Every structure is written in structure tokens, then in C-alpha cells.
Amino acid sequence: MSKTKPEESLTAPATGIRKGLTNYGDSGFSLFLRKAFIKGAGYTDEALDRPVVGISNTGSAYNPCHGNAPQLIEAVKRGVMLAGGLPMDFPTISIHESFSQPTSMYLRNLMSMDTEEMIRAQPMDAVVLIGGCDKTVPAQLMGAASANIPAIQLITGSMLTGSHRGERGHLFGDGYRQHHGLRGRSVGDDRAGRRIAAGRDRGPYPHRGGDGRPGCADGA
């Protein structure tokens, strides 16, 4: 008695790569075509039978807060594969506080919709949301909640604080003070040194304000 091929097991609950088949009017053809495309990337039938864990990729050259996203994605992929899953990363909108005009808040809901629709449109059983900042994390969590699949947030991690002439500082918390101090000549005119000290590393702002709250709320 011959075993049923994976392509023929269409009556089983839709999971993994079989979820959300493209509507061609023939589910068997939809799965056949999907596997034909993805196997061109080197995946085996055994790999494609695993649960699929999506990984949202918010890396962008315009977003230093997510500068370590590629390394985090690779780490998540290793963990998913060791647990018996199939990791699949996918891009979404990436917004940064200082590189979004008129303001990053203006794009938060658009990012939420993008995250939700990409989760819905692509086959995945769960999703890992990689991001930081007080606009990105709420956008991702709202999108994942609306998509209604298991999700976990991985915060990119705060940038390191720096020091200039013995004075410790970081962006936004001390950035405003130093900038206005330069304008008012209440601090020495050493802009280059102060900029390096304030933004010495990649990652969201290290203070307990806007960027810290969403991460803490998600962890709770």
C-alpha cells in the first residue's frame, strides 16, 4: 500500500507550508506550485513538513536602531531549526525616529497593517517579531494580535551609553540638553565629540522613557 504524498494530504488541518494556499481554484495545484518555487531555494520535502516560524525583518540602512537585526535573525533561525521548525524571515516596513518625515508616529499604523497583512498572507504557524523603539514594538504587537497567531517579541537591545570629558550621556535624554547647551554656549563647542559620545552604538535609546516602556510591557 503506497503512502500518501504530502501534496495529496489536503484534508488534514492546514499547517506549515500548506497554510493559506493561493486561490487558483485548485488547492492541489496551489500546493504543487508553492513547493516547486520554494524547493528551488534548496528546501527538502522533510524540511517543508516542519512547522513554519516567520521572522519579521525590520533591518534597514535608514534604521540604526535595528542595525543588529541580521545577527538576531540568524540566531533565531538556529534556535527554530534546533527545535524542529522551519524559519522563514520576511521584510516589513522599518521606521526610525530621526529618519521619518514628518514623524515616525505618522507611519506606526501603516507598519502595523503591513506586519498584520504579511503574517496573514504568508504561511506560518507562529512569528518572531524583531524590533525596537516606541513606534515599532507597538506596531508589531498590534499587527500580530490582529493576525491571531502565536507571536513573541525580540527587542533589538538598547545602545550603549557614552561619555565625553568624564560626563556620561546618551541620545535624547542628554541629546536635547547638549544641543541646547551648544546653542546657548553653556557647554563647550565640541559637537563631534559630543555626537560620538551620545550615539556610540546601534540600538534604541537606552533611557527608561519611550523606547524602554514597550519592551518592558511586552516582557510582562
Helices 105-121 & 136-147 angle (0-180, nearest 10): 30
C-alpha cell at 106: 505618522
Give the per-residue pLDDT at 81: 97
pLDDT digits (tens, 9 = 90+) for 74-111: 999 999 999 999 999 999 999 888 788 888 888 999 99
CB atoms near residue 190 (< 10 Å): 14
pLDDT digits (tens, 9 = 90+) for 196-215: 455 555 555 555 554 455 55
> What's the alpha-carbon Rg for the chain, to the nearest Å?
22
Domain positions in the chain: 50-158+208-219, 162-198
Q: Which residue has the higher pLDDT, 98 or 28?
A: 28
pTM score, two decimals?
0.75
108 with 139: CB under 8 angstroms? yes
d(CA 187, CA 58): 37
E strands present in 132-196: 151-155, 162-164, 167-169
The values of phi and psi at residue 89, to 5°, are -90, 150
* Per-residue pLDDT at 121 exceeds 80: yes
pLDDT digits (tens, 9 = 90+) for 129-188: 999 888 899 999 999 999 999 999 999 876 666 665 666 655 555 555 555 555 555 455
C-alpha cell at 111: 507598519
Please work out, in degrees rounded to the nearest 5, the angle formed at the alpha carbon of residue 122 by the alpha carbons of 144 and 70: 75
C-alpha cell at 198: 551620545
Residue 195 to residues 68, 170, 175, 200: CA-CA distances in angstroms?
Answer: 20, 9, 8, 8
Any residues with CB less than 8 A from the CB of 89 and at least 6 apart, and which? Answer: 54, 55, 56, 57, 73, 77
> Which CATH architecture best describes the domain 50-158+208-219?
3-Layer(aba) Sandwich (3.40)
